[in-house]
Amino acid sequence: MALIEKLAEIVGAGNVLAEGDLSRFTHDWTKRYNSTPLAVVRPASTDEVSRVMALAHETATPVVPVSGNTGLTGGTFNDGALMISLDRMNTIREIRPAAKIAVVESGVVLASLHEACDTHDLVFPLTFGARGSAMVGGALSTNAGGSNVVRYGSTRGLCLGLEVVLADGRVMDLMTELHKDNSGYDLRDMFIGAEGTLGLITGAVVRLFPKPAAYATAMVAAANLPDALTLLNRLQIATGGAVEAFEYMPRHYIETHVAKIAGARQPFDDMHDVNIMVEVGATAPRDAVPREDGSIPIVDYLEEVLAEAMEDGLVIDAVVAQTEAQRIEMWKRREDAAEITLDRLPIIDSDIAVPTDKVPEFFALTDARLADLDSGAETMIVSHLGDGNVHHTIYPTTDDAAQHDLIREMIEDVVLSLGGSFSAEHGIGISKKPSMARRKSPVALDVMRAMKMALDPKGILNPGKVLPQG
């Protein structure tokens, strides 16, 4: 109780939740990692975060940071820990259109940042289904990817500077607005993707981009994945690298979406095995300004490129969105992925990345090996095909943990044989720690542990996450 009273002195009694309804803090989006925090503290400033961390360091109290709590790997599991929610630190400090940057606090919800940028004809291009609740700090802490990585890169590439509170409460100001700064170690990148194990991100300088004045969006069916990848390369050349999204949804995904989501429709009159949602963004007036007849040049151009690809046999069906409502329907089909894939048990969900040209081989190898391990298992797939990120979900026929481990190891074997990674954009948390122990370079793990010990010698920052035991 003494700790709770001291926390109340820092942030106010109404911002320390030690009893009552803490349900939104007891589990992440998957609801597979359930826990009870010691308390939830909601600081409103970096100074308050600093004082809370100094107190936690003094008392050796474990701390788990939480943003929108939309993670999938158990990264906010918190039994008996003090949770620091940054939801009150939700100020967009400034948007500087000339420099194309925004200075934000880590509790800013992605959708709010998107709306604020829109008024300046700019975009912060990080986007995914949970953008209405996910926050900037959480996205940075997991180095989130999303659907627009193919054009803009992951969160790490969208960040110029950070403000970080260390385990002992010291504030490290890395809030550079520079695109080039070669003054020593790049400390910023240490904290991006560290999942709160090295420090608490309280602010960031993020990159903005010109808002496309027009979009051309389509659902495309290809005979096979190699043809789809050939189409991607052709589109990149034809548009000067303006492909914003290239999302793969196989037949089973489409069938499941239609069955589970009220009002959902299949994209074509006929079902196809390989379905791609492609979007191109145009900023140049010559591509975006409507003609006298109302047609938009970039939409017409996408239709022309797809028609040529159809003549060449790369495309077997295509529907180009003619209205914003049709575009939204195409995006919703893809963004409903978590809702339709993570709603049944038992489940083995993987978030892997391989070189884009190796994606077809990944599917062929895992399908063959899964049949040997569990012939009755079902698979659900959706992929950011444009950057080689595959969300690969398996529904095994048994709850046997040992069998699940064999399947996970099989997936890891395939991924690493293709030069890929067992973790692409969801982070490590708890669920991927065994993969870290098995697959990460022992030397790399030693270096990570040394960094952790140097920055958090008492081990209070998000304990038990990311790093396997040495």
DSSP string, 277-300: EEEEEE-SHHHHS--TTS--HHHH
pLDDT tens per residue, range 11-53: 999 999 987 778 888 888 777 888 899 999 999 999 999 999 9
pLDDT in tens, 316-359: 999 999 999 999 999 999 999 999 998 889 999 999 999 999 99
**Highest CATH level, class, for 92-210:** alpha beta
Q: How far apart are CA 86 and CA 43, in angstroms?
A: 7
Strands 348-353 and 317-320: unpaired
Best CATH choice for the domain 2-85 from the list 1.10.260.40, 3.40.50.970, 3.30.43.10, 3.50.50.60: 3.30.43.10
Q: Are 241 and 283 in contact (CB under 8 A)?
A: no
Give the pLDDT confidence of 367-396 residue by residue, as tens digits. Answer: 999 999 999 999 999 999 999 999 999 999
CB 242 within 8 A of CB 234: no
The alpha helices in 192-323, defined as continuous H runs, are 225-239, 251-260, 285-288, 297-311
- Residue given tokens 């569990």 in the structure block: 374
User: By the 8 A CB rule, do 306 and 320 touch?
Assistant: yes
Total residues belonging to the chain? 470
DSSP notation for 364-420: HHHHHHHHHH-TT-EEEEEEEGGGTEEEEEEE-S---HHHHHHHHHHHHHHHHHTT-
pTM: 0.94
* pLDDT at 343 (0 to 100): 85
* CA atoms of 1 and 14, how far apart (whole Å): 15
Tokens of 342: 């993570």
Residue ranges of domains in the chain: 2-85, 92-210, 214-337, 344-427
- Compute the C-alpha angle 65/66/68, nearest 5°: 160
What is 344-427's CATH number? 3.30.70.2740
DSSP, res 180: -
3-state secondary structure 129-173: CCCCCCEHHHHHHHCCCCCCHHHHCCHHHHEEEEEEECCCCCEEE
Virtual torsion, Cα 91, 93, 98, 101, nearest 10 deg = -60
Nearest to 219 by CA among 257, 183, 173: 257
Tens-place pLDDT, residues 425-455: 999 999 999 999 999 999 999 999 999 999 9
Tokens of 195: 């999942």
Tell me the pairing of strands 214-222 and 209-210.
unpaired
Q: What is the CATH number of domain 214-337?
A: 3.30.70.2190
In the predicted model, is pLDDT for residue 401 greater than 80? Answer: yes
Q: Same CATH topology for 92-210 and 214-337? A: no
pLDDT at 70: 83
Count Cβ atoms below 10 Å from residue 36 Cβ, excluding itself: 11
Q: Is 301 exposed, middle or buried (0-12, 13-18, 19+ CB in 10 A)?
A: middle
The distance of Cα 327 from the centroid of its chain, to the nearest Å, equals 22
User: pLDDT tens, 83-97?
Assistant: 999 999 999 999 999
Between residues 68 and 253, which one has the greater pLDDT? 253
